[in-house]
Structure 1
Amino acid sequence: MKLIKPLFYSLLLLSSALLNAAEDSNTETAPSTDTASKPTAQNERIEPSPEQQRQADLALAQNSETEVIWLEKDGEQWLALYQSAVAAEAHGSIIIFPDQATSADWPGLIHPLRTQLTEHGWNTLAITLPQPPQRGIPARTLPTLQNRNQVQESATPASETVTGTEAEASQNSSSTVSDANTSTEAADTYALKVLELAASASNQLKDKGSQFEVVLGVGEGANWAVSYFMQDETRADRALMIINPTIASSTSTPNLLSMISELKTPVLDLWSDPDLSNRSYAKQRLRAAKRSGNNGYRQIRLNQRLNDPRRMPLWLTKQVRGILKTNILDRKPTPDIAAEPVELTPGS
C-alpha cells in the first residue's frame, strides 16, 4: 500500500507536466500561424491598371522623332506624343484630341495626322483622353422579397398597404435622386480632369515656343476639343477644327450640338460619309450652326478615295493640310510693319 501511493502521485505529476508542455507548444505555434495567414505589406496585391499599361507600352514603341510627354493629374500620368515640324520656322502647333475609344497614336487617323502634318510645317501634340466614369450598378429587388411583400400585402388592410407602398416609393425616389447627384458629380469631376489635361498640354506647347495653336478633335474627341476651345473664345492665336465628329457615347461627354449652337467663332467641320449616320449628323450640326448665326462655321466634305485604302491616310492628311493653309494660314492677319523713315538726298 505504501508503494502504490508514491506511484500514484508520480503518475499524476507526470500527466500534469505533459499537459503543460502541450499547452506551451500550442501557445508558441499559434502566433506563427496567425502571422502566416495575415498578408504582409510585401504580399499585398496591387490592382493592375490596363489603361496605364497600354500607355506605357505605347510610349516604349515610339521612335526618336517623337517626344514622349507625361501629363500629370491627381497622381496619375497621361501620355502625350509631341513631334516637331520639319521646318526652320513652324506655322504653329496642333493639339489633337483622339476619339474616346482610341489612343494618342491610333493608326487609323491619329498617327498619320500627328506625323505627316509635321512635313508641312506644323508641330503636333496628341493627348490621351481618360476613360469616362462607369455608371453605378442599380439596386436590385429580389423576386423572393417581392413575393413575400405580396403575401404580406394580401394579409394586411388596404390602408396599411397604401402606406407601405407610398413609403417604398418615397425610398426609391430618394435613392434615384441620390444616384443622379452622384452621377452628375462624377461627370463634372471627369470633365474638369479632361479640360485640365488639355490646358497642361497647351502649356507644354507654349514652353516649346508655339505662338499659334490649332485645336483639332477626331470622332468623340471633337466634343472635348470644342469644350476646351470654348473656355476662352476671345483668343486670336487659336483656331478650331473637328474631323468626323460622333455622338457622345457617355453622359460625361459634352453635347456637341449644344456647343455649336453657342459658338460664335469660326469652326472648320470636316466630315466624310462612309455610312448614313455620319451624313445625318453632319446635317444636324450644319442646321445648329445656321440657327446660331455663326457665319464663321464652315463644313467641308472630305474625299476619302476608298478605291485605294493604303493611300487613304496620306490623302486625308494632304486634304487637312490644304484646308489649314487655305482657311487658317492665308487668313491670318499680318502684323502692321511701320514704314522706316527714308532720308531723301538732293536730286533723288
Structure 2
Amino acid sequence: MSPLLRPTLLALCLGLCLSPTLHAEETPAAEQPASDSAAAKDAEGGEDKSTDKPAEVPRVPLDERTSAEAGALERQLPQTEQQQLQAGDERFLALWKPANAAEATGVVILVPGADETADWPSVIGPLRTKLTNAGWSTLSLTLPDSPAAPLPTAILPQPIVVAPPVDTSAAASQEQDPASADKPAADAAAAPVAEPAPAAPPVDPAVRVFARIEAGIAYAEQQGAQSIVLLGHGDGAYWAALFLAEKKPTQVENLLTVAAHLPAGQQPPLEELIPGLKLATGDFFYKDQASDRSDAVKRLQASKRLAHPSYVQVALKALPGNNDAEQEQLYRRIRGWLDKQLPAKK
C-alpha cells in the first residue's frame, strides 16, 4: 500500500467508528424540543391557573348594635313581653307590659335615647315596669342605631405643579407638519371622559324612627288604648317631638320628655320644637347638670313667648351612686304629671 493512502484510510476508519456514537448523541437532542415544549405547556397551564382570581364573595352588612342588643333581650325577657312589630320593610323588638289594673288608663310609648335598648337600666327600663302599677300599660320601642356625626371636611394643601421645559425642536417640527400637531388634540377630544359615579344620597334617620313610632301607636290602638302618651329620653325626646310636629297624629295629645337632647346635625333646636307643639307637655330635666339646665331655660322662655297653655317643666335632682333612688324620683314625678293631666279611672 502506498504511504500516501495510509492517512486517508486511517481517517476513513475513524469516521466509520464514530458515526454510531454521534447518531446516538443526536437522537436525545432531537427529542429535547418535544419534551421542552410539553414542559413549557405545563408551565403555561400552571401560570394560567395561578393567575385565575377567586370569585369575589359579596360582603354581608353587619347587624346594627341595637339589633344585636335586642337579640340579647329576647333571650333574657319573658316571651309574653316581646312583640315583633313591622316598620316599613324591617321588623323590630318592642316590649309590652299591660297595666296592673282592671282597666288601663292608657298606653305610654317609651322612645329610648341614642343607642339605648328597649329595657335600658336608666329611665326606660324602670318606667316601663313601674308605670304599670299606676294603671298605665307601657310599650318600649327599639330605635335604629343613631347616625354618626358628620366629619369635618379636610383641607389639603394644593400641590405645586412645575411646568416641564419646552422642547423647541418639537415645536419646530410641529410648525413644519401641522397635521401631526393636530392629531394628539383630535385623539384627546375623541377619548371618552369617564363621569364620576353619583354619590349615594344620605339616609334620613327620621324615616326609620317615624316608622317605628307609627308601628307602636298602631299596636297601642290594637290593645284598645283610650289615651296614648309619647315619652322620650335623651335623643328619643327629640325624635318623639319631631314626629308629633311633622306627622301630627290625632291619637297622641300628650308628650313627656326626660333630659331632652338634640342629636348631632339635626334641626330645629329643641327650644323651637317642643314649645311649638302646643300639646300637653311635661318637660323633665336634671337641674344639677349645667347643660340640661341652660337648655331647659331656653325652652321655658320659648313657651312663655308662645303662651303655651299646658307646658310644664319639672326639675329633677341627680343622685349619683344611688340609681334606684334616682329612678324612683323620676317615676313619682312622671306619675304625678300623668295623674294631674290624665287621672286614672277608679
- Counterpart of 1:201 in structure 2: which amino acid? G
Aligned equivalent of 1:263 = 277
1:241 CA displacement: 1.3
* Contact 1:112–1:313 (Cα < 8 Å) also in 2: yes
- Match of residue 157 from structure 1: none
User: SS of the counterpart of 1:310?
Assistant: helix
Query: How much is the aligned-residue C-alpha RMSD, in angstroms?
Result: 3.1
Distance 1:306 1:138 in 2: 39
Q: Do the aligned residues in 1 keep the contact of 2:106 with 2:227 (CA within 8 Å)?
A: yes
- Segments of structure 2 that go 5 or more residues without pairing to the other structure are 1-17, 164-198
Match of 1:38 in 2: 54
d(CA) in 2 for partners of 1:304, 1:270: 12
Percent identity of the aligned residues? 26
Q: What does residue 75 of structure 2 align with?
A: 60
For the 8 Å contact 2:238–2:263, the answer to whether it is kept is: no
Q: Is the 8 A contact 1:304 1:315 kept in 2?
A: no
1:324 Cα deviation from its structure 2 partner = 0.6
Structure 2 matches for 1:283-322, cutoff 5 A?
283-302=297-316, 309-322=323-336
Equivalent pair of 2:287/2:317 in contact (CA under 8 Å): no
Which residue number in structure 2 is paired with residue 99 of structure 1? 113
Closer, same or farther: CA 63–311 of 1 in aligned 2, 3 Å: farther
* 2:150–2:265 contact (8 Å) kept in structure 1: no
The equivalent of 1:3 in structure 2 is 20
Match of 1:21 among 24, 38, 54: 38
Aligned to 1:116: 130
The counterpart of 1:213, out of the listed 213, 218, 228, is 228
Whether the 8 Å CA contact 1:132–1:252 is kept in 2: the answer is no
Structure 2 vs 1, CA of residues 301 and 232 (structure 1 numbering), >3 Å: closer, same or farther?
Answer: same
The reply to whether residue 204 of structure 1 matches residue 219 of structure 2 is yes
Query: Retained in 2: the 8 A contact 1:244–1:272?
Result: yes
Contact 2:284 2:314 in 1 (8 A): yes
Distance 1:266 1:310 in 2: 28
> Following TM superposition, by how much is the alpha carbon of 1:110 offset from its aligned partner in structure 2, in angstroms?
0.8
SS of 1:186 mapped into structure 2: coil
Is the Cα–Cα contact under 8 Å of residues 261 and 291 in structure 1 kept in the other structure?
A: no
Output the CA distance in 1 between the equivalents of 2:339 and 2:245.
23
Larger Rg: 2
| CA positional deviation for 1:139 | 4.1
Could you tell me how far apart the structure 2 residues matched to 1:254 and 1:67 are? 34
In the alignment, is residue 242 of structure 1 matched against residue 272 of structure 2?
Answer: no
Contact map agreement 1:100 1:219 (CA 8 A) in 2:
yes
Q: Distance in 2 between matches of 1:103 and 1:213?
A: 21
Q: Distance in 1 between matches of 2:119 and 2:278?
A: 31
2:101 pairs, out of 63, 87, 104, with 87
- Kept in 1, the 8 Å contact 2:110–2:230? The answer is yes
Matched to 1:186, the amino acid is P
CA distance in 2, matches of 1:313, 1:113: 8
Please name the residue that 1:192 is paired with.
207
Aligned pair count reads 291
Give 1:26 deviation, angstroms. 2.6
Q: TM-score, normalised by structure 2?
A: 0.72
Which blocks of at least 5 consecutive residues in structure 1 are unaligned?
153-181, 333-348
Cα distance in 1 for residues equivalent to 2:253 and 2:69: 31
Query: In structure 2, what residue type is equivalent to 1:90?
Result: A
Runs of 4+ in 1 over 6 A off after TM superposition: none
Distance 1:315 1:134 in 2: 33
